[in-house]
Amino acid sequence: MKRVLSCIAWFTGGILAALVVLLIYGLAITQNAIIQDTHKQYYHATRLVIYGDVVIGFLSDSSSQNKNLETSPHSFKVMLAGTIAQITFRPFESVYVPPLYLGTYHINASGHDGILVLQVKDGLLYGAVRFPDWANGVWEPLKGVVIKNNTLYFTRSVTNEKERLKTGAREYFTQYYVGTYKENGKKIVGFYKSRGAKYLFEAYRKK
């Protein structure tokens, strides 16, 4: 009997481990999807895993209109498949960003100095930030980077244990940045929100 129970335990553990690996792998893949629920609310998903009757991913806040959801704050959410009317996976569009909005910037966020890098590669917009006095001084890939109508949007966050250990953060956090380009892209002025509070940031192109 003990041998049978041991085999069952190993088998169950193997299945759970496989599910965890599939979940991590699925959430690591960038996607571009629009979800419409049964109440005609829309969500944008940058990460999405569908397993049985559960949909797991990083989703925007809901909206009654399918507009500008990409720039809305995204967070980890779980939805039941029965509440979803439709999921549309959209191809990534090759973005064009004026060169004067890209490059390396010196950034100051609430008195903390760092380096902000924005670049386009293979038609996709990427960003990273490094604060020598924050997050162990490591490079942090930014999430949800968008440049539209002279405005920069991105998210700096620690939402899993791997990111927390890398940055040395005491707890998980999410910061939503919005900045406006000034002086032909030489300067970015804006704010970021964290835990309901708003803070200022500025960035200057490095010479």
User: Distance between CA 58 and CA 28 in Å, rounded?
Assistant: 11
Is 94 among the domain residues?
no
The whole-number pLDDT of residue 26 equals: 45
- Say if residue 45 is exposed, middle or buried (CB neighbours under 10 Å; 0-12, 13-18, 19+): buried
The whole-number pLDDT of residue 113 equals: 94
Q: Is residue 201 located within the same domain as residue 120? A: yes
pTM (2 d.p.) = 0.59
**Domain boundaries, position 195:** 99-205
Q: Is residue 62 located within the same domain as residue 137? A: no
pLDDT in tens, 21-41: 444 544 455 667 888 888 888
Query: Which residue ranges of the chain lie beneath pLDDT 50?
Result: 4, 15, 18-19, 21-23, 25-27
Q: Is residue 199 located within the same domain as residue 118? A: yes
The whole-number pLDDT of residue 18 equals: 42
The whole-number pLDDT of residue 72 equals: 75
Q: Is residue 190 located within the same domain as residue 112? A: yes
How many domains would you assign to the chain?
2
